[in-house]
Amino acid sequence: MKDLTLIYNARLVDKNIDVKNGAVLISGSKIAGFPSKETVKQMLSDDNVSKFNAGGAVLMPGFIDMHAHFRDPGLTQKEDIVTGSMAAAAGGYTTCVLMPNTSPVVSSLEMALKNNQKAAEAGYCNVIQSVSITKDFDGKTLSHLDELNSKSVPVITEDGKEVASSAVMLDAMKKAAAKKIIVSCHCEDPSLAAAAKPFRQKALELLKSGKPTAAEKKEAAANLKQANVLLKLAEDTATLRNIELAREAGCHLHLCHVSTKTCLDAVRRAKKDGMNITCEVTPHHLGLSGEKIPEIFNVVNPPLRSEEDRLACVQALSDGTADVIATDHAPHTMEDKKNGSPGFSGLETSFALSYTTMVKNGSMKLKQLSELMSARPADILGLKNKGLLEEDYTADLVLVDVDAQYTVHGEEFASKGKFTPLENKKLSGVIKATFVNGKIVFQD
């Protein structure tokens, strides 16, 4: 007997289709077909078929995140493979690319495969563990790249920091080009980032009491503005460097969390030149700007930018300059956040923030958002049979009520990281269910 599940009474949406009153038949881990209304009627009385009434909600391909931190191994007070996978499922994500800035750093094929296996055993989300560009983030050693292959490790990255040496980065890019491995760059000039650090530290000292005065808030904001000027230069200059190095090396360059108009303009030019370049924008850089109090106090790398930069991110995703929406899910303990650790949890709010910002406000259709969150990342990563609602594709699916609103409360997250800059904000788009390999892994 086949393992059959019928999802019916659904609006089916991917990059190519938007069909009301549709149905999907799952057989085992695959999409077996799209039954007609007449066939659905017959199946509803068939005891051999499991039924799932979508209630008119939107059924889409599961989201694919090219940038998440599950903090495993070594930093599991912040997150681990299981809780990160549960957070992914709660956010409609069925595949996540994990960053290697753990403790120890993921610098080998063996370590990467171990994390992939841990996620497979948990069963909530598919995981692709990336590997560091330099061994243990030492900034110079590349010998570990020789054992990698693009099927097991499609992405290398130094995320969380930058490879300071241009010569080392060029050699790494040449190695990656030969193996057809994506070089994913956290573009941030280390010397400018170091120059910004004292300003951030001063601001954090002023805010540390938890109840700063109006004068202390004003002074903290002024310090953060100084830091953010330097960090904008850090992103812009490193991006231009990495584009030129990748042009010489001939590798596939992927730019992480692009957040400035200058960088997006550079990507636009590089694409016109025919370079093999892709980039991501985060939901928080899409939906939030960070020039004013209190938003400026939400510390993240890269920082929340100006409204001009935010609108440039929206435009870049709308016109195809930016390829994907990636969460940069970066969970921390509340104590870590109080001490200034940059980043915050993003998997569970990603769709709602992106939908509210991009679709509800009229910047794009839901089909295009599906492309940015599913089809395009699947294509970039070379994932066969993922990212679309097609027969014989893997039944990695998400059901979303796009009409429902909810108020964000970090304490309700499945992630260990409860801090969010969206606390108490109202968003549209509630994840109702997530399927991985045909099995329900989350249900609201």
- The residues carrying an active-site annotation are 328
The answer to whether 305 and 292 have CB atoms below 8 angstroms apart is no
For Cα atoms 360, 365, 370, give the angle at the middle one, nearest 5 degrees: 105
How far is 221 from 204, CA to CA, in rounded Å? 10
- Give the torsion through C-alpha atoms of 239, 241, 243, 248, to 10 deg: -170
CA atoms 288, 291, 297, 302: torsion sign: positive
> Which amino acid, one-letter code, is at 211?
K
Q: Give the chain's end-to-end CA distance (angstroms, integer).
A: 29
User: Which residues, 6+ apart, have CB-to-CB distance to 98 below 8 Å?
Assistant: 68, 69, 70, 84, 106, 115, 127, 128, 129, 130
Count of CB atoms situated within 10 Å of the CB of 128: 22
- Token digits of residue 284: 């928080």
The answer to whether 415 and 334 have CB atoms below 8 angstroms apart is no
The answer to whether 9 and 23 have CB atoms below 8 angstroms apart is yes
- Token digits of residue 158: 């130094």
Tokens 């039944």, residue located: 395
How far is 366 from 355, CA to CA, in rounded Å? 8
